[in-house]
Amino acid sequence: MALPKVAGAIALPLRSRRAMDGAMISETAYAKINLALHVRRRREDGYHELETLFAFVDAGDQLTATPAEADRLTTHGEFAAKIDDPFGNIVAKALTALPRGKGWAVDLEKRLPVAAGLGGGSADAGAVFRMVERAHGLPDDWHDRAARLGADVPACVLSRPCIGTGTGTDLAEVAQNDLEGCPVLLVNPRLAVPTGPVFKAWDQRDRGPMPTGTLRDIALAGRNDLEAPAIAICPVIADVLAALRATAPFLARMSGSGATCFALYESQEALSLAAASIAAKYPAWWQLSGKLR
């Protein structure tokens, strides 16, 4: 059973609903990566026309919610201090975007770096949508409400592989997810890279459409058009990519607008060796090991 399809979106699976009275709901805000990101043109409204292949890692921020008289948000974790205004951030906006009846006390453990190309805030908002769906169900226009919060939010609500077009909010299924369970290593040099300047530095050259096929086909034949402008702004990204490629993955690429890069491996053993090698050589870098969903 699924929620009704929304124009331009794929349906969100409907899980068993249960009342939240006296109960706690937990969700993982799965880290988003762009296996491919093709920038086709700059639109008249200032946004960019994109074709991107979203995928998600089986780890990320952790959110819990319990009933409360009024909404409140508590943040902690390694990267909580990077959230400038926890009460005006995207989690708080997601809470106000959806009907829920009584208030929620939300606890956010911020495990993902901020401004890192992992959709961390969008993933948090997506987790809120899934918690509301479990407790109360979502309104039919959930996709539009999610899109108003950010271009990555609808995909992060789904948190499964999909193709995004337009500004990234128009979603379609992938022909075949042949990378489910694939070992993935994320590495970030602990430098924030704001999205706006990277898009502004894009050379406006259309390098062609995203290929078709299975998840693996598109990932291998695709590219990230924001890699070069991001490296120009944050040169250490090139060092991260070089370090990952030296560990012999079958694919290494920057995610989103950076600075996080990812590497995909054929085996868990290869991933473990790569993670240990990079940790030994670059102990200051952040890294996360997981599997693709």
Question: Percent of the chain scored above 90 by pLDDT?
Answer: 86
Model pTM? 0.92
Q: What is the mean pLDDT of residues 72-78?
A: 94
Please compute the mean of the pLDDT values over residues 149-165 and round it to a whole number. Answer: 97
Res 20: pLDDT:
56
Q: Is the pLDDT of residue 115 over 80?
A: yes
Strand-pairing partners, residue 106, are 65, 73
Given a cut of 80, whether residue 19 has pLDDT beyond it is no
pLDDT of residue 54: 98
Query: What average pLDDT does this structure show over 2-19?
Result: 45
> Residue 6: pLDDT band by 50, 70, 90 thresholds?
very low
Catalytic option among 32, 61, 110, 225? 32
Is residue 32 flagged as an active site residue?
A: yes
Does residue 124 carry a catalytic annotation?
Answer: no
Domains located in the chain, CATH noted: 25-291 (3.30.230.10)
Asked if residue 212 has pLDDT above 90, the reply is yes
In this prediction, residue 113 carries a pLDDT of 96
17 pLDDT more than 80 = no
For range 75-97, the mean pLDDT: 85
Among residues 61, 124, 152, 225, which one is catalytic?
A: 152
| More reliable by pLDDT, 44 or 64 | 64
Q: What is the share, in percent, of the chain residues with pLDDT greater than 70?
A: 91
Q: Which residues are annotated as a binding site for ATP?
A: 113-123
**CB neighbourhood size of 202 (10 A):** 16
